[in-house]
Amino acid sequence: MIVMKFGGTSVESAAAIERVASIVKARVARQPVVVVSAMGKTTNRLLAIAAKSAEGKREEGIKLAVELRDFHLREARPVVLDSDWPIVESAIQDHFQEIAELARALAVVGEITPRLTDAISSYGERISSIVVTYAFRRAGMDAVHVDSRHVVVTDNRHTQATPKFAESYSRLAAAIPPLAQRHVVVMGGFIASAENGITTTLGRGGSDFTASIVGAGIGAEEIEIWTDVDGMLTGDPRVIDGVRRVKSISFGEAAELAYFGAKVLHPATVLPAVEKNIPVLILNSRRPEVEGTRIVSESVPCTNVIKSIACKRNIALVNITSSRMLMAHGFLRRIFEVFDRFQTPVDMVATSEVSVSLTIDNTTRLKEITTELEEFAEVNVEQNQAIVCLVGDSIRSTPGVASRIFRALSEINIGMISQGASLLNFGFVVSEADLPRAVAALHSEFFAEVDPAVFD
């Protein structure tokens, strides 16, 4: 068995779904279990419907829902057999009926809770997985649909739920392998359910995580993440030009890159795969002939010290200075307790004698956090910052890396520096305005020459 996960752009249209069908068909002998994202930008649109409705702009919400329904009907029609169309059409209509009811409830309540957010955002994957199942049948495959909410179990932290691995693995192991022997199994990514059966989601970009949970649960030989780029690249293609494909990379390096902004992989994806030592591949559904990136358990020998540069925009840098002259003991604990209480993860930290600087990317609770911190410290927040993170598992053992980084950035103001405890990253903060210039300079410094065994 292999798991094949197709992201939003890979199923964004009838033509894209047909490409997916032909990719899967070519691998039917390996018993594929297919995990799909919502079609195109559907999750964003569903969240916009929820937001408009809760703001009382019901008409706008309904208009968006009608457009989204028509998009699904239009793209699904050509990929489904005439004889199956009544089933698929009524599934789409019924799901949008439920979306309209949820939108109505949101308009009445005037507030959107995390649980309702999950309820509404789950429809993208619920619908796409049905459409793809029937598209596979039209392509001549014996496909069956499995509702992921029956096999992936999480806690009830809505919009960011954490899987209950043991329970999910045992349900997956019982349900999927017998089906996969004779059928191509199709499931929606991202969605799951809490133990009380209420729908949850694994966080934005969470379909990758579903793929690796499923892979670990069924003991897959391989987990393939099919997306819209050739694999893990040496930099973010949305930020700089001239990036190259990384042919293979270690689990540790990939996890670090994902955590620090390489959107191509959800940060939690490698976890289940590492545990079961299942290789993960990143592949391009528009260019299936390209080998992609192989993520493996052992480290990859390479003459380049850096494998890739990740970056994350929209970061807030929080500088906290102790009101006393010197840091009293317990100062750090008090700081982190505040962030913890407001469920805000801290990405990077640096300390000096009297101050602590840290970065967060979720600023929804920042006001409350600042108010609490100001009870015992001075707080200054710099918005519109970006993290740049260079990753390579020989950074620590290679002399001269920091000096090369600083030389490349000699014209740029650096806000904060951190060499990760993981030993394989070097991260710092710059203003968003400086980000493209900083990444381009670093990319020229570290990838002017590349090891042909590791980079394309």
Q: Write down the least CB distance from residue 343 to ligand ADP, Å.
A: 23
The tokens describing 49, both together, are 């419907």
The tokens describing 23, both together, are 């990719």
Residue 294 has phi, psi (to 5 degrees) of: -105, 125
124 binds ligand ASP (CB under 6 A): yes
229 binds ligand ADP (CB under 6 A): yes
201 binds ligand ADP (CB under 6 A): no
Q: How many residues does the chain have?
A: 456
In the complex, which residue's CB is closest to ligand ADP? 7
Helix (H, G, I), strand (E, B) or coil at 201: strand
Q: Which element (helix H / strand E) includes 33?
A: strand 32-36
Strands, sheet with 199-201, edge to edge from the N-terminal-most edge strand: 153-154, 191-194, 199-201
121 binds ligand ADP (CB under 6 A): no
CA-CA-CA-CA torsion sign (278, 8, 51, 384): positive
| Site for ligand ASP, residues 7 to 26, rule: CB under 6 A | 7-8
Whole-number Å distance between alpha carbons of 284 and 289: 8
Q: Which is nearer to ligand ADP, 228 or 361 (CB)?
A: 228
Sequence-distant (6+) residues with CB within 8 A of 321 are: 354, 355, 377, 378, 379, 380
Q: Which stretch binds ligand ADP (CB under 6 A): 85-93, 165-173, 229-237, 319-327?
A: 229-237
233 binds ligand ADP (CB under 6 A): yes
Query: What is the torsion angle, in degrees rounded to the nearest 10, for the CA atoms of residue 328, residue 329, residue 330 and residue 335?
Result: 50
237 binds ligand ADP (CB under 6 A): yes
8 binds ligand ADP (CB under 6 A): yes
205 binds ligand ADP (CB under 6 A): yes
Whole-number Å distance between alpha carbons of 364 and 368: 9
The binder of 230, among ligand ADP, ligand ASP, Mg ion, none, by C-beta within 5 to 8 A per type, is: none
Size of the site for ligand ASP (CB under 6 A): 12
The binder of 124, among Mg ion, ligand ASP, ligand ADP, none, by C-beta within 5 to 8 A per type, is: ligand ASP
6 binds ligand ASP (CB under 6 A): no
The tokens describing 35, both together, are 């995990």
| Site for ligand ASP, residues 184 to 243, rule: CB under 6 A | 189-190, 204-207
Where do contacts with ligand ADP occur on this chain (CB under 6 A)? 7-10, 37, 205, 227-229, 232-233, 236-238, 262-264, 308, 310
